[in-house]
Chain A
Amino acid sequence: MMVRICAALLAATLAAPVAAQHIGKDTAPDVLVKRVADEVLDIVRKDKEIQAGDRAKTIALVEEKVLPHFNFTRMTALAMGINWRKASPEQQKLLVTEFRTLLVRTYSTALTNYRDQTIEYKPLRAQPQDTDVTVRSQVRQAGAEPIAIDYSLEKTDAGWKVYDVSVGGVSLVTTYRDTFAQEVRKAGVDGLIKTLGEKNRQLHSTS
């Protein structure tokens, strides 16, 4: 079971990319997700250095192509849940920065593990006036059931932004929610910021 979850998480992180220059702010959410994913995975497929685990290069790719299409403030607020209001604006800023660093790093690791899985997109079920949609995709692999990767997007003035990704039914934001609550309970919002910072520094030193 643990195995399936891990596999799902891996596949999830792999398939999560989102971004590209030729994407305007009026691009439909499903088109946006597909274009960004295709573009990023195409680069990864061709780049031997990324496949070999070149971290700096992978992170640069994620920063350039994927990050512009994420709303990290919303993601952090959702993961914080009720504790978000308890944080001061400065604390909120720090939380967003640290959480963003952690996600980028994790995502980059997943990307270097990417091999030739194929991704299929399901038709978007949404009304034109919707401002909050879910784009559904599936990673297909031989000998195992396909893994669903769903992107939750919201419409902003700057175009559609991803605020949650779920892999095999496991939402990134929800999975962090309990851990965040637990840390805040233990040592307050500052304690959580500290824990996130330590985690990031520890990852940095081991890479």
Chain B
Amino acid sequence: MLTMWVTRVAALCAAAAALGGCATPALVDPRDPFEPANRAVFEFNEGLDRTVIKPVAQVYRAVLPQPVRTGVRNFYGNLWDPWIGVNNLLQGKVEWAMSDMFRFAVNTTFGLGGINDVATDMRLEKHNEDFGQTLGRWGIEPGPYLVLPVLGPSTVRDGVGLIADTFGYLPWRIPTWRKWNHYVAWRNSLTALGFVSLRATLLDAESVVEEAALDKYSFVRDAYLQRRRSLIYDGEPPPEPAPEHGGNTALPDDLATEPSRAVAPAWAARAAPADDTGGGRAPGAFAPGALQLVDPRIPANYVAVLAAAGRPHDERKEARK
């Protein structure tokens, strides 16, 4: 698979070079400069999933009844909530951070160690935050797309975030709590069960992806990058000109011939010309003046902005009254 791909790229490069064009930029997706290596890891992950992880998840689902599986999922979700709160705090979302801490307190006590998600019933909505998102909120670019062994899709920024996340994840804090004899076994078992639980919840969704994707690798990549961008903006990202990687045809001459584009990072791709959203109306229309970087920054009045936008935290306020 990989060899085929490399051969194909090589052939295409040669052809492009022969035509006197700039070979690499036409073929390399600027967001994914390590595509050959990523594809190899992706194939490895797929194989591992097919032979080990998925069968285990299927057994897990077949053996345990739904309420037990929900309890396990809630338990793990609860362990993440303090770290989610810390990240909301780092992003300046104080009210959300308080809500996350309150969720953890309520679920750990009344929810019997997190098995019951009573906080959601109290309209304390669960949030989705991690350190990669915090870095994104601080204006740090994702950098090249990466497929990590076992863990799957990521980017340079999100990979760094992931390292920080392991520090914030409670089971990985066990060793620092106390040095008892079996802590490594406990920690690893907890992590493994969490992984299987997560995989089991995906069994249905997976069939949809399998059916939808023409090329699963690029489907997953494009979905991941969009999803991360959406998460950084908490579901309301500013409109983004859709990057067109169809080749030089999409580029004005000055950009297409610029040598540095071969290694252009993700933000360059975003600044690259895009097809207008009205494909039928004006395909390929390109207005250089319309290009702008759309990276997140923390607005000073973030809470006020959220309030004005009628975000969920308003609903929580309502609920508390």
Name A's B-contacting residues (CB within 8 A). Answer: 1-11, 13, 73-74, 77-78, 80-85, 102-103, 105-106, 109-110, 113, 122-123, 142-146, 148, 166, 168-171, 174-179, 181-186, 195-196, 199, 203
**Given A3-B199, A74-B279, A179-B222, A168-B215 contact (CB < 8 Å):** no
Which of B174-182, B243-251, B298-306 makes up part of the contact surface?
B243-251
Q: In the complex, what residues of B have CB within 8 A of residue A178's CB?
A: 29, 218, 221-222, 245
Cβ contact within 8 Å between A6 and B202: yes
Tell me whether B204 is interfacial, beta carbon within 8 Å.
yes
Q: In the complex, what residues of B have CB within 8 A of residue A168's CB?
A: 227, 230, 235
Q: Which residue of A lies closest to B224 (CB)?
A: A5
Which of B134-142, B148-156, B257-265 makes up part of the contact surface?
B148-156
Cβ contact within 8 Å between B70 and A9: no
Considering the complex of A and B, which 10 residue pairs feature the smallest CB-CB distances, nearest first?
A169-B230, A10-B205, A77-B279, A6-B205, A2-B152, A81-B275, A143-B74, A113-B204, A181-B246, A106-B212
Tell me whether B89 is interfacial, beta carbon within 8 Å.
no
State the CA gap A179–B212 with chains docked (Å).
11
Cβ contact within 8 Å between A10 and B208: yes
Q: Which residue of A lies closest to B154 (CB)?
A: A1
State the CA gap A184–B249 with chains docked (Å).
13
Cβ contact within 8 Å between A81 and B242: yes
Range for the number of chain B residues in contact with chain A: 35 or more
Cβ contact within 8 Å between A1 and B153: yes
State the CA gap A85–B280 with chains docked (Å).
8
Q: Which of A113, A144, A148 has the most CB of B within 10 A?
A: A144
* Least Cβ–Cβ distance between B310 and chain A, in angstroms: 8
State the CA gap A59–B199 with chains docked (Å).
28
State the CA gap A109–B242 with chains docked (Å).
28
Q: Which residue of B lies closest to A74 (CB)?
A: B280
Name B's A-contacting residues (CB within 8 A). Answer: 8, 27, 29, 70, 73-74, 77, 117, 120, 125-128, 151-154, 158, 198-199, 201-202, 204-209, 211-215, 218-224, 226-227, 229-231, 235, 237, 242, 244-247, 249-250, 275, 277, 279-280, 283-284, 310, 312
Cβ contact within 8 Å between A170 and B230: yes
A-B contact pairs, 5 of them (CB 8 A): A78-B279, A123-B310, A142-B74, A166-B226, A178-B218
**Given A82-B250, A148-B235, A169-B226 contact (CB < 8 Å):** yes
Cβ contact within 8 Å between A171 and B224: no
State the CA gap A195–B218 with chains docked (Å).
15
**Given A81-B244, A109-B207, A174-B222 contact (CB < 8 Å):** yes
* Least Cβ–Cβ distance between B128 and chain A, in angstroms: 5
State the CA gap A84–B213 with chains docked (Å).
20
Cβ contact within 8 Å between A184 and B211: no
Main secondary structure of the interface of B (DSSP, over half): helix
Main secondary structure of the interface of A (DSSP, over half): helix
State the CA gap A7–B204 with chains docked (Å).
8
**Given A7-B205, A8-B227, A9-B209, A185-B214 contact (CB < 8 Å):** no
State the CA gap A143–B204 with chains docked (Å).
17
Q: Which residue of A lies closest to B285 (CB)?
A: A82
Q: In the complex, what residues of B have CB within 8 A of residue A177's CB?
A: 222, 242, 244
Cβ contact within 8 Å between B70 and A82: no
**Given A77-B280, A82-B244, A146-B125, A182-B218 contact (CB < 8 Å):** yes
**Given A3-B202, A179-B218, A144-B126 contact (CB < 8 Å):** yes
* Least Cβ–Cβ distance between A169 and chain B, in angstroms: 2
Q: In the complex, what residues of B have CB within 8 A of residue A109's CB?
A: 207-208, 211
* Least Cβ–Cβ distance between B33 and chain A, in angstroms: 15
Q: In the complex, what residues of B have CB within 8 A of residue A179's CB?
A: 213-215, 218-219, 222
Cβ contact within 8 Å between B229 and A142: no
A183's partner among B70, B214, B230, B250 (CB-CB below 8 A) is B214
State the CA gap A190–B159 with chains docked (Å).
38
Q: Which of A1, A3, A148 has the most CB of B within 10 A?
A: A1
* Least Cβ–Cβ distance between A8 and chain B, in angstroms: 7
Cβ contact within 8 Å between B284 and A82: yes
Q: In the complex, what residues of A have CB within 8 A of residue B117's CB?
A: 142-143
Cβ contact within 8 Å between A143 and B152: no
B125's partner among A5, A113, A145 (CB-CB below 8 A) is A145
Cβ contact within 8 Å between A169 and B74: no
Q: In the complex, what residues of A have CB within 8 A of residue B70's CB?
A: 142-143
Q: In the complex, what residues of B have CB within 8 A of residue A185's CB?
A: 27, 246-247
Q: Which residue of B lies closest to A206 (CB)?
A: B211
State the CA gap A83–B284 with chains docked (Å).
9
Q: Which residue of B lies closest to A195 (CB)?
A: B214
**Given A77-B279, A175-B223, A106-B211 contact (CB < 8 Å):** yes
B283's partner among A1, A13, A81, A183 (CB-CB below 8 A) is A81
